Structure 1
Amino acid sequence: MTGDSEEADAEVLSPDEAFKRLGNEIRVAILQELGAADEPVRFSDLRKELDVTDSGKFNYHLDQLTGHFIEQTAEGYQLRRPGERIIQAVLSGAVTESPTLEPTSIDWRCHRCGAEPIEVDYREEQVGVYCTSCEGIYGGERDQEKVNIPAERERLYYLHLPPAGIVGRSPKEAFVAASRWTNAETVTAANGICPRCSARLVESATVCRNHTTDSGLCDACNNRYAVMYRVRCTNCVYELEAIYANKLMTNLELRSFLIDHGLNPHHPQREAFLEVLYPYEEDIHSVDPLAVTFTFTGDEESISLSIDDSLEVVNVERTSGAEQ
C-alpha cells in the first residue's frame, strides 16, 4: 500500500542510513529553514540564509537530504513528509530538551479524596500528579525509589506531555494540556493504534489475584485497582500500562453517559470528569477466562460495563438512582 505520489517516489532508507544522513548541523539547519518557510526555497536563497559560503560543500549536504527528507521542485526545495516529522520532533523538544518542574501546588482537588490542592511536577516528558492527603492510585515504595518521590506524596497518575507543552504555561495550564494530550493518546491506543507510529498494538489485561486495598494501595500489586490494561506496539518501543478505565473510554455508551452528565470526554479538564470516571468499582467474576464488570457512578446514576476474555465490552447496564 502506498501514499501519494510524493511519498511513493521517496527514497527508502534503513534506520542507520537515516540517522547517518541527519548527523550534521548544516543538514539539520536546512531542514529547520525549510520547515519555517511557507513555500519552496531556491538553492541560492537557502545557502544565503544559512550563511554557508562554500557552494560545493552546501550542495553536498543538500544532496544527502534530497530524495527522502526533502525534494527539489521547479520552484525550489521543500520538505517531504519524513523531513516534516524530523522537524516536528526537534521543535517539540522531545529529542533536544529535558526541562523539569519541581513539585508545585495547583488549585485542583484530588479525585480520590477531594483534598485540595494537589501537586504536579515535570520530568522525562511526564507530568506527575500527586496527593498529599490520600493513598493515590499508583505507586508507593517502588515509585518513590524510581524518581525520588517523598514518602508523603502519593501518585495519582502520570500524564504525557512533550517539552514544548510546558513552555509559556503555568503549572496548572501544563497539567490541563497534559490531561488533554494524554486523553487523546490513550483513546488512540485503546483503539489498537500506536499513538507514536500508527502501527498495530498488541493488548492484554492482567489481574492481581491477591488484591486487597484495605490500607489504600494493594500490597501485592501496588495499585488501587486489580485489573490493568496493557498495550505494546508491534513496530516501535511504545508501551502503556494503565487502569482498565482507559480502555473503556472507547465505549460509546460510557462516553454518552459522561456527556449526559455534562462531561466532555474529549477534554477531561474538569475535576468532576475524573471524579465520575476513576473512582469506579470492579467486580471480578472470573480470572481465567476473564470476566469483569466495571461500574461508574455520577449524579445518582450508574453505568456498568462487562468484559470477557476478548477484552471487549459484552454487556452494558445503565441504572438510575431510583433503581439502585
Structure 2
Amino acid sequence: MTAPDFEATADAFGRLADPVRVEILATLWQAEDSVLPYSELRDAVGLRDSGRFNYHLTKLTDQFVAKTDDGYRLRPSGLVVLNAVYAGSYVDAPTRTGLDVAGSCPTCGSALVGEYDEGMFRVNCEACDDQVFMLSFPPRGVTQRSDEELVRAVSLHARAHTRRSNNGLCPFCGGAMSLSLDLDAETTLPATTLVRSECGNCGVTNRSSVGFAVLEHPAVAGFLREQGVPADAPPWRFDWCLNDDAVTVVSENPPEAAVTASANGAALRVTLDADADVVATERVEEA
C-alpha cells in the first residue's frame, strides 16, 4: 500500500475551512464559461468586501483554483472537492428501511429487504438477518430518489463498481487492483468461495461471491441479455450470485472454480482461475 502524504492532505483541507471558499469553488463549477473574470466571480459569490474576498480566493489559488490571464478557473482537485460536496459526503446521511428489493434469502428462502444507513446500502434477510449485499452510496443520491428508483440506482452503482474492480481499477482511488480466488474464505456472507480484489495504492479490499464477480463479464452479460434479463437487474436477484450452491471447486492447487449462471431455463458455466480471470465458458443443462 502506498503511504499517503497526510501533511499535504491536511493542508489542503485547511484551505477549505470557510464556507465562502467552498462557495467560490461551486460558483466556478456552475459558471457557463470555464474561466470567470475576477469581478464576475466576486459578484456571483456576492461578497462585497473585496479584501475578505481576496483573502479567501488566495487560499484556494494554486491548490483548487487556477489563475489565468482571463480570470479564474476550477482545477481538477477543486472538482474532486465539489463531487464530495454535491454527493453529500460531509452532511448527515438519510435513513431508509424496509425497502422492497425483490429477492429470496439463500439460507432460509425468506424475502430480502434493503436498508440505507450511514452511507451504506445493505440487503438482508427479513427472517434470519443474513446479509447478502453491502455497498456505500452517496447520500444525495438517496434523497433525490423514490425507494424503487434507489434500488435501481444502487444496482447500477454496484455493477459499475464491479466492472472497475474486475478490470484492475480501484473504484475508490483509481489505483491498480489485484484479484485472486479464495476457495475457503472466513466470512459472514452465505458464500465461502469468493473473489478477492485488493488495491495496491489505498489498500482497500473487496470480496464478492463468484457469481457476482462474473456478472459483468461479456459472456455472462450476453447470456443474460439473450434470456431477456434486464441489464440493470440487481445481483441479489440471482441465486447463483448469493451463495456456493452454483459453485464447483474445479481445482484446489492451483485454485480454480466454476459457477453456473442460470436464467429462464438456460444455464452458462463460467470457470475462473487463481487470478479470478474467466478462462472458459460453456452452455450446460440447468440443474
Normalized against structure 2, the TM-score is what? 0.84
SS of residue matched to 2:283: strand
How far is 1:258 from its partner?
1.0
Give, as a single letter, the amino acid of the residue that structure 1 aligns with 2:138. Answer: P
Q: Where in structure 1 are there 5+ consecutive unaligned residues?
A: 1-12, 134-151, 210-219
In structure 2, what is the Cα distance between the partners aligned to 1:124 and 1:37? Answer: 32
SS of residue matched to 1:253: helix
> 1:303 maps to what in 2?
268
C-alpha contact (below 8 Å) 2:125/2:131 kept by paired residues: yes
Which of 52, 71, 74 is the matching residue for 1:76? Answer: 71
How far is 1:122 from its partner?
0.8
C-alpha contact (below 8 Å) 1:183/1:268 kept by paired residues: no
Mapping 1:1-324, distance limit 5 Å = 14-39=8-33, 40-101=35-96, 103-106=97-100, 108-110=102-104, 112=106, 115-116=110-111, 118-133=112-127, 152-208=128-184, 221-236=187-202, 238-265=204-231, 267-269=232-234, 274-275=238-239, 277-278=241-242, 281-320=246-285
Give, as a single letter, the amino acid of the residue that structure 1 aligns with 2:23. Answer: A
Q: Higher mean Cα deviation, 224-233 or 50-59? A: 50-59
Q: Larger relative contact order (C-alpha < 8 A, sep ≥ 6)?
A: 2
In structure 2, what is the Cα distance between the partners aligned to 1:221 and 1:58? Answer: 53
SS of residue matched to 1:317: strand
How far is 1:193 from its partner?
0.4
C-alpha contact (below 8 Å) 1:41/1:77 kept by paired residues: yes
C-alpha contact (below 8 Å) 2:23/2:45 kept by paired residues: yes
C-alpha contact (below 8 Å) 1:104/1:171 kept by paired residues: no
SS of residue matched to 2:175: coil
Aligned residues: 278
C-alpha contact (below 8 Å) 2:199/2:205 kept by paired residues: yes
- Provide, for residues 256-287 of structure 1, a one-character-per-residue CA deviation record: whole Å limited to 9, x for no partner: 2111111244x22598x635655651111333
C-alpha contact (below 8 Å) 2:195/2:213 kept by paired residues: yes
The alpha-carbon distance between structure 1 residues 182 and 75, as it changes in their structure 2 partners (threshold 3 A), is same
- Provide, for residues 69-104 of structure 1, a one-character-per-residue CA deviation record: whole Å limited to 9, x for no partner: 122334432212111111011110123332222x22
The alpha-carbon distance between structure 1 residues 20 and 48, as it changes in their structure 2 partners (threshold 3 A), is same
SS of residue matched to 2:81: helix
Normalized against structure 1, the TM-score is what? 0.75
How far is 1:170 from its partner?
2.0
* Root-mean-square deviation over aligned CA pairs: 2.7
Q: Name the % identity.
A: 26
